[in-house]
Structure 1
Amino acid sequence: MTKVAADYGVTGTALKKTCDRHHIPTPERGYWAKLEYGKRVKQAALPPLPEPNLALVRISGGTEQHLSPSVREAKEKARDRLTKHAAANPISVSKPDLPSNTAEPSCLAATRRAITKARPDHEGFASVRSKGVVPLRIAPASIERGISVLGQLFALAETQGHLPKATEDGLVLAVGNESVAFGMEEQPQKSLHQPTPQELKQRDERMRWGYTTDPWPKYDQSPSGRLAIVIHANPYSGLRRTYSDGQTQALESKLPDILAGFAGHAAFISERRREKEERDRRHRDAEAQRQREEAYDSREKRRTEFVDAVHEQLTNRDKLVAVLTHLENIAPEHVDRVSAMTTWIRLRLKQIDALISPDFLDISARSAKVDFIEPDPEKERERGGGYFGYSHPIKLDLWTVDIEKGVATSCSPLDWVNAARPQIEKDQAG
């Protein structure tokens, strides 16, 4: 059973329960030993299934099988180190009812003071949880042994370079760069509740009002003396979190396995942190890429709008040139009748030529913050890639340029026409 169970990643007990549910007979205790020495054994036949749905047996395996290789490797390496340390430095494990010969570390002084002052609840358990204190829930009779187990745990942890660390939530164990929180609990002993005469009277009164449930708990809980160390981390990781006294093995003898479990939890915390950092990095990169694309689209849109404005002026210019050509071909006797129109068209053409001249286009583009040169990718990545805030309107302006001062000042079409009209009329007269 043990060997087959290992192939499926479960315990022998779990496999036995699965077989019992599906009515599959299993070898009796001592079956293989009897068979090895030639003794008679009874091999049960596979009985017919009472229900068809029991024909399919599903065994998902232990949850630790689904852990990442790095976490399993960290746990196995820690277990190997602890095994080698135990072989090189044999330590006599104290019995649960005898004091330990390990000196109590100073970091447990606050825990001892706190649990000693704590008052037991109605079930007989004293609880404590505060800064720099190991969270405890144990009976007063188990305090000395509990402190002794914690002392042995910290002493063994120190040989592996793991040190206690006081935090706001309690005393944790620093394994590498990670802090693993834990506590100690005394597992309760359940016994069937015996109702008191007062509770029986209360039940009778409730029954008169139609209540059918009993006004008392089904079980009473009381201290059992069985202690457990519970790791308060990674509740859904699949790692074992509770190590308790067994029927044949005391908690003190499980300390190497417990510390190996701490190493696994620390590796799991580190792995989750790395995964989170990688997710955050990808998110930042995606956000930066989105901003760069958004900035690029914004640049392209404004460039297109600027080009559209130039194209509009070119279209107007072609229209005006066509009209001016027509007017210039008019018979001489009719020239005076269209001279004012001709003058206006030439003025508009000069105005358009000024608007789309290289100098004015360059000044208008810089004034509207329209850049036709792609920014440096590295600088854009550092900046975050975006244009934020107010966007200048896209338009072509007329400018008055002071070459000496290197200053360009926009002027209205009226001011520009009033300044340009005398020269146009002079050219036309000439």
Structure 2
Amino acid sequence: MTKVAAEYGVTSTALKKTCNRHKIPTPKRGYWAKLEHDKPVRRVCLPKLTDTKLDQVRISGTSAPNLPEQVSKAGMEARERLTNVSELAAADETDFLVEEPPVLGATRRAISKARPDAAGFTSAQGRSIVSLKIAPGSADRALQLLARLFALADTEGYRPKASDTGLDLAAEDVSIAFGIEERPRKTPHEPTAAELKRRDHNLRYGFSKDPWPKYDHSPSGRLSIVIQANLWSGLRRTWSDGKTQKVEGMLPEIIASLVEHGALLRQRRRAAEESERKRLVAEARRKREEAFNTREKRRLEFVDAVHEQLLERSRLSAVLAHLDHPAMDGRNPAENISAWIRRRIQQIDALTSPEFLDLSARSAKLGFVEPPKGSGSEYAGAYYAYPSPPRLLLWSIDEEKELATTTGPLEWAIHAGLLPASEDQPAKDEAAEAVPPPQR
């Protein structure tokens, strides 16, 4: 029944009811286990139909094709294991009592102290308490149902586990919340005299809606087990008392569905973890690429600064070549201009010298070698960082202290002997930055 029902997308209980309606005999509980162990079994023949309307069976299942294969497989295997459950867990008789586990003590105390609402239902919920909404007269049966549920769930590795919101059934790395509700009985509401008077009063002002509910709700004694997980997943979540079958007889199917819910929770968690892993990989790649582009941009800015100095040197050299032709009398009226151009060219040569370029790049924290992957520095300057464009700097190197300090053009020219020193020589730049000179 379990295997065939899964093929049609219905539960074994639904398939059993369909067979009963169409006078199709089905194997009794334990039939296939006895057959497997060569025990004698009784096979009932298909009877003749007196009603021709029953000769065709239509089953409209609600299979869930979108469920992962491992979820369906887990449910199928659990149903096969639960086919031959003991009477302790699967018997329909509710007078066969099971010892109530201590873990249900908090639930019993909470439901016994709860006060009924206007419809006659009491509610219990909280830490270590199974979510209940039942009539006071159904409390003993609900707790006995929970005891049977826990006993059967333990065979599949699911055990009670306290949580902040209730008492869940947990196995390994999944925890599934559930509860028991009592289905209300609906009876047409009989308006009272006060309600009829209020309706007549409302009609005077154009309100035609009856000021009373359509139905009254009262306890029915019909219990339901509700799994509070995987909404809109296609898996069954509610089992209720029927006209002929109690929810106690559905416990094997409930536990099998519980296994399916656990498998789906695991699969969804794995899918979420894989999605997060891919997101982190993509984010790391994006940051690395952004950092690389930032480094490339700053490198190009540094090269452009060097190129700009070289262009200026080329222009200065052309002007100097033009001015270095003396007049007929041997004098050069533009000698001072030529001297300044030569000093300017020397400054550019210093700025663009390999030693000063290396110091300027290191001062700007500008590297021209890609950092190793995973070092952390590969993301430097990429995220929420706006570094200033690199500049070419002049340096004063102290060989003894092995220290290089930035200096201004005037101080550098005096230190290089291009300008005479004076007593009123300006002080060094307060913002000067010191870095170690490159290793020779």
TM-score by length of 1: 0.83
- In the alignment, the residues of structure 2 paired with residue 110 and residue 64 of structure 1 have an alpha-carbon distance, to the nearest angstrom, of 37
Q: Which residue of 2 aligns with 1:188?
A: 184
Within the alignment, does 1:346 sit opposite 2:342 as a pair?
yes
Q: Which residue of 1 aligns with 2:109?
A: 113
Give % identity. Answer: 50
Find the partner of 1:152 among 148, 156, 159: 148
- In the alignment, the residues of structure 2 paired with residue 232 and residue 421 of structure 1 have an alpha-carbon distance, to the nearest angstrom, of 87
Find the partner of 1:141 among 137, 144, 152: 137
Q: Secondary structure at the match of 1:395?
A: coil
Within the alignment, does 1:358 sit opposite 2:354 as a pair?
yes
Contact persistence 2:89–2:151 (CA under 8 A): no
Residue type at the aligned position of 1:91: L
User: Which digits, 9 at most, give the CA deviation of each residue in 1:148-167, with x for residues without a partner?
Assistant: 00001111122222110111
User: Which digits, 9 at most, give the CA deviation of each residue in 1:374-414, with x for residues without a partner?
Assistant: 11123148868846546244111111111222111111111
Contact persistence 2:22–2:54 (CA under 8 A): no
Deviation at 1:38, TM superposition (A): 7.7
Q: Which residue of 1 aligns with 2:82?
A: 82
Deviation at 1:423, TM superposition (A): 8.4
Contact persistence 1:288–1:381 (CA under 8 A): no
Q: Describe the shift of the 1:389–1:10 C-alpha distance in structure 2 as closer, same or farther (beyond 3 A).
A: same
Deviation at 1:40, TM superposition (A): 7.8
Q: Which residue of 1 aligns with 2:220?
A: 224
Within the alignment, does 1:69 sit opposite 2:69 as a pair?
yes
Alignment of 1:250-289 (within 5 A): 250-289=246-285
Contact persistence 2:227–2:238 (CA under 8 A): yes
Q: Which residue of 2 aligns with 1:37?
A: 48
Q: Which has the higher helix share?
A: 1
Deviation at 1:278, TM superposition (A): 1.6
Q: Which residue of 2 aligns with 1:306?
A: 302
- Structure 1: give runs of 5+ residues left out of the alignment: 16-28, 45-58, 425-430
TM-score by length of 2: 0.81
User: Which digits, 9 at most, give the CA deviation of each residue in 1:29-88, with x for residues without a partner?
Assistant: 65999x9738684799xxxxxxxxxxxxxx99615332111111121222222225x1xx
Q: Secondary structure at the match of 1:186?
A: strand
Calculate the aligned-residue CA RMSD, in Å.
3.4
- Structure 2: give runs of 5+ residues left out of the alignment: 16-20, 26-45, 421-440
Within the alignment, does 1:214 sit opposite 2:192 as a pair?
no
Alignment of 1:327-346 (within 5 A): 327-331=323-327, 333=329, 335-346=331-342
Q: Describe the shift of the 1:328–1:305 C-alpha distance in structure 2 as closer, same or farther (beyond 3 A).
A: same
Contact persistence 2:184–2:218 (CA under 8 A): yes
Q: Which residue of 2 aligns with 1:291?
A: 287
Q: Which residue of 1 aligns with 2:234?
A: 238
Residue type at the aligned position of 1:220: D
Deviation at 1:288, TM superposition (A): 1.3
Q: Which residue of 1 aligns with 2:18?
A: none
- In the alignment, the residues of structure 1 paired with residue 363 and residue 123 of structure 2 have an alpha-carbon distance, to the nearest angstrom, of 73
User: Which digits, 9 at most, give the CA deviation of each residue in 1:86-143, with x for residues without a partner?
Assistant: 1xx4437555652x33110000111111101111111111111111000101111111
Find the partner of 2:169 among 166, 169, 173: 173
- In the alignment, the residues of structure 2 paired with residue 298 and residue 90 of structure 1 have an alpha-carbon distance, to the nearest angstrom, of 72
- In the alignment, the residues of structure 2 paired with residue 6 and residue 95 of structure 1 have an alpha-carbon distance, to the nearest angstrom, of 23
Residue type at the aligned position of 2:281: D
Q: Secondary structure at the match of 1:377?
A: coil
Deviation at 1:275, TM superposition (A): 1.5
